[in-house]
Amino acid sequence: MSATSRIDSATPERSAPAGVPHLDVDPFSTEFFEDPHRIHDVLREAGPVVWLEKWGVYGVARYAEVHAVLNDPLTFCSSRGVGLSDFAKEKPWRPQSIILEADPPAHTRTRAVLSQVLSPTAMKQVREHFTAMAAAKIDELLDRGSFDAVADLAEAYPLSVFPDAMGLKQEGRENLLPYASLVFNAFGPPNQLRQEAIERSAPHQAYVAAQCQRENLAPGGFGACIHARADAGDITAEEAPLLVRSLLSAGLDTTVNGIGAAMYCLARFPDQLARLRSDPTLARNAFEEAIRFESPVQTFFRTTTREVELAGHRIGEGEKVLMFLGAANRDPRRWENPDRYDVTRRTSGHVGFGSGIHMCVGQLLARLEGEVMLAAIARKVASIEISGPVKRRYNNTLRGLESLPITISPA
């Protein structure tokens, strides 16, 4: 397929670049979702920069280039969208995010607000409660023995702590996961996944828009804390709901997939579960390593603001560059035995949460949830066995499972 056969008619036809390896790979296809690692290897070995003919974009899959693009936000901007859609040419499907889809200096101010709301100090305040809820969840699941580690654990646990921590009402919470799924599908190309997600989105969008308003957020929660920053003059009253929306978009499904990734790792690598059980203080690193190993957020785009040379290749202005975070996290140039899940690995520097100014602002919250869940497992669970067919869930950005039937036994 040639680069000019894009179905995205809003983008003008352009000739494909010379000198850059052209690949007929669709990173938003079922084939790719089923086994990204084989194709990641092809992408990395083809060269430091590749051209993806299917969507007419550049791609980077090696650690060095992914890290470099993430850490040069002035050249590789976010304000033109971090999905395939270029906001300079197409209207965003929803009002643009004022943090994710923003560049400095606009980004700096909104980012600071969320950094404060989700600071290490704020995490200390919720830690005890999150720990108790994780222990209670594992006790409940040990009583059942067999269950679905996606629905009953990876989804159920964050749903038992995150909406309350945000300060959301009880009603309508069933919209949260479909909304997040929509947001992450929408970063992809105009394929069936994206189109169907947007077509079904009206009720989920309406729910989230309402929950972002001040009167719907309980005092003391993260949502109310964001609105309080408007009182302090750090943001405007109109900006506060949009920042709450960012947390509702990015704060739940990512953690679900992160915890799901950790469960899938521990189920497949019993020696690593044994290692974790022998030293429960490894729980936090075991979660971090699962993020590196599975990379629940697989890809993000940037758009070039000027002509730039990257690894010896000239890239023009206004080009989309797709960063393969999952491929970078298993690049053998950076990681020893990258395809091994090792709970003792020194994981610092992985790009599963991104890097640079847009690095996941909720990373501390994700790590807290992952750590306390894996610590509860380390203390209470002797074995984890996959006891039924494992089904993958397809999403243009998120990597995770639809179903992971497991049986656990008590320690």
Per-residue contact string for residues 72-111; x = within reach of other proteins by CB under 8 A: ----------------------------------------
Report if residue 233 touches other proteins, rule: CB under 8 A: no
**Residue from 24, 171, 348, 389 in contact with other proteins (CB under 8 A):** 348
Please select the residue that binds other proteins; options are 346, 388, 409, 410, rule is CB under 8 A.
Answer: 346
Residue 364 binding other proteins, by CB under 8 A: yes
Q: Within positions 266 to 305, which residues make up the interface with other proteins, using CB under 8 A?
A: 284, 288
Read off φ and ψ for residue 77, nearest 5 degrees: -85, 165
Tokens of 176: 């949260």
Binding region for other proteins (CB under 8 A) out of 45-53, 155-163, 266-274, 344-352: 344-352
Ramachandran region of residue 288, left (φ > 0), alpha (ψ -120 to 50) or beta? alpha
Q: Using the rule CB under 8 A, which residue among 4, 115, 192, 337 binds other proteins?
A: 115
Does residue 345 touch other proteins according to CB under 8 A?
A: no
How many chain residues are in contact with other proteins, going by CB under 8 A? Answer: 24
CB of 125 to other proteins, least distance (A): 10
The CB-of-66 to other proteins minimum distance in angstroms stands at 12
What minimum distance in Å lies between the beta carbon of 312 and other proteins? Answer: 22
Nearer Cβ to other proteins, position 311 or 357? 357
Nearer to other proteins, 6 or 284 (CB): 284
Q: Is 9 in the site for other proteins (CB under 8 A)?
A: no
Q: Using the rule CB under 8 A, which residue among 105, 120, 219, 233 binds other proteins?
A: 120
Which one of 37-45, 264-272, 326-334, 347-355 is the stretch in contact with other proteins (CB under 8 A)? 347-355
Q: Which of 121, 170, 236, 278 binds other proteins (CB under 8 A)?
A: 121
Of 84 and 291, nearer to other proteins (C-beta) is 291
The binder of other proteins chosen from 175, 302, 353, 395 (CB under 8 A): 353
Interface residue list for other proteins (CB under 8 A): 115-116, 119-124, 284, 288, 346, 348-351, 353, 355-357, 359, 361, 363-364, 367
